[in-house]
Structure 1
Amino acid sequence: MRLISARQAWHDCMYQGGSTMLENLVDRSVWGQVQFSEIDNSLHCIAHQALSGRFQHAIASLPVELQCFGHNLYAPEISTRQSNQWFEIAHAMAWESWPKRDELAEEKRRQAQWVAAGVLYRYRFMVQGGMGNPDPLEQPRLFRAWLQDRHGVILDRRNWSREWGWIVQELFRVCDRLDRKALMPLALVLTEERGLATAA
């Protein structure tokens, strides 16, 4: 497991790539293989699982909604059904965490909920893989086209920054705040582990 960032740790601690230790042992016994080298290849897997357990425990300490928000952003292996559930919870959480939603007119509030879904999609793309990916829908015309194609929502292009640009920026800030909250316990474990690694 690489100790690069809390985002990377969330992804890696949930990733169980390759075969498990038990599958390895079964394969060895079926083929009658004996390992004669002094280095056991399964030690890397054991170290990964032990370290993963610390990060998984940190994730489990979060409220369920924040866990879903984090899983929506960083989970490596997900089913469509599970992904949709996480997205719905993350979307509801982002929407409910935005205090200015009640200031909007009814029609604009309905459209802004879909804008929140789009912002969450964009934010996820930008932070996946550690972070630093470019925003795929940064240009307003691309974002409007995506909303229309994906959700059937048509936003007026006139006065974009006055009508919708500020809402998009506010919702990005909400996603960032929730992301920081979700990553905080992992960052603490990461700091501890880095301290142990440098001390050793």
Structure 2
Amino acid sequence: MRIISARQAWHDSLHHNRDSVLAVAAQKAELGRKHGTGEGKVIVMLEDHDGQQVARTYKSRQKGDNVHETRPGRRLSTDQCAHMLAAGLIMQAIDTLPKPVQHFGHYLYSPTATFNDLSIAHGMVWLSSGLDKLTDKQRCRAYWMALAAIQSHKRIVSGGEELAPGEVCMIMEERTGCRINPSNWARDYAEVWAHLAKKVDGLDRTALRPVAEVVESLLSAEELSSNDYDRWIRQPGEKAA
């Protein structure tokens, strides 16, 4: 897991990479692990009734035998250990946030975001919008504009473009059933849209703050190889030796 930014760290902490077979084999070779089936037999020296030593050959356990044991897998590598530790620090930071803010961040950055995350994020933006003075008709449209503002922000932080006025109007039309003319955007909707976009950005900053602190602590450590486990066993904020 590479640490680049708070947004990337949030996403990658909930995403488990799978190394290639050759990469895992190289890791095991570096750690000095030896695995293999060998000849599949064990020779044991025993004594017969006359006290003479005789050799007995027994079949050894092979892969697929019904034996309860822990076998090494592709997850046992220094990279995976580093990933799990870094991910744990990030998830611990996320867990310090209020639950609704966690859902807001998960919708923006989690690889497994759900409709529940979006629903809670939408409610947070709308309840904190302060648009109570609008008329009923305006408030109905602004409510769905808040949903569009979240989706627009997610597109922006993912490297895309902000939703165009026509796209926002289409979202409102689909949910209100009323025809909305994009040509009236500057007059009727631009101010409300800018207000909602600012609210979404503020909530995003709140959600990222504890994660950014952990990321900054990790990045402040001396630059080491991504395979160097020592980089990750230091606690956030601890100075490199």
Match in the other structure for 1:111: 141
Give the secondary structure class of the aligned counterpart of 1:159.
Answer: helix
The equivalent of 1:164 in structure 2 is 189
The secondary structure found in structure 2 opposite 1:119 is: helix
Question: Structure 1 residue 158: deviation in Å?
Answer: 4.6
In the TM superposition, what is the alpha-carbon distance from 1:153 to its structure 2 partner?
4.9
Deviation of 1:36 (Å): 6.3
The secondary structure found in structure 2 opposite 1:134 is: coil
Which residue in the other structure is 2:220 paired with?
Answer: 195
Q: Report SS of the residue matched to 1:154.
A: coil
Alpha-carbon contact 2:10-2:109 (below 8 Å) kept: yes
What is the aligned partner in structure 2 of residue 2 from structure 1? 2
Q: Given the superposition, is the C-alpha separation of residues 197 and 77 from structure 1 closer, same or farther in structure 2, using an over 3 Å criterion?
A: farther
TM-aligned CA distance change 1:16 to 1:167, over 3 Å: same
Partner of 1:53: 88
- Deviation (angstroms), 1:155: 2.4
Amino acid of the residue matched to residue 182 of structure 1?
A
Correspondence for 2:65: none
Q: Please, which of 96, 105, 108 is the counterpart of residue 127 of structure 2? A: 96
TM-score, length-normalised on structure 1?
Answer: 0.80
Residues in 1 aligned to 2:129 and 2:142: alpha-carbon distance in whole angstroms: 11
Partner AA of 1:15 in structure 2: H
2:37 aligns to what?
none
1:67 — aligned with what? 102
Higher helix share: 1
Q: Point out the structure with the larger strand share.
A: 2
The aligned length equals: 178
Contact 1:114 1:153 (C-alpha < 8 Å) held by counterparts: no
Unaligned runs of 5+ in 2: 34-75, 224-239
Provide the TM-score with structure 2 as the length reference: 0.67
Q: Is the aligned partner of 1:37 residue 2:29?
A: yes
Task: Give every structure 1 segment of 4 or more consecutive aligned residues whose post-TM-superposition deviation is greater than 2 Å.
Answer: 38-41, 145-159, 197-200
CA distance in 1, matches of 2:12, 2:214: 14
Report 1 or 2 for greater relative contact order, CA contacts < 8 Å, sequence distance ≥ 6.
1
For the residue of structure 2 that corresponds to 1:62, the secondary structure is coil
Kindly provide the amino acid, as one letter, of the partner of residue 184 in structure 1: R
Counterpart Cα distance in 2 of 1:73 and 1:168: 19
Which one-letter code corresponds to 1:75 in the other structure?
Answer: S
Offset, 1:94:
0.6
Q: Which residue of structure 1 aligns with residue 161 of structure 2?
A: 134
Once superposed, what is the RMSD of the aligned Cα atoms? 2.5
CA distance 1:77–1:18, change in 2 (3 Å): farther
Q: Unpaired segments of 5 or more residues in structure 1?
A: none
For 1:42 and 1:150, how far apart are their aligned partners in 2? Answer: 50
* 1:175 maps to 2:200: yes
Say if 1:45 and 1:152 are closer, same or farther in 2 by CA, change over 3 A: farther
**Higher Cα Rg: structure 1 or 2?**
2
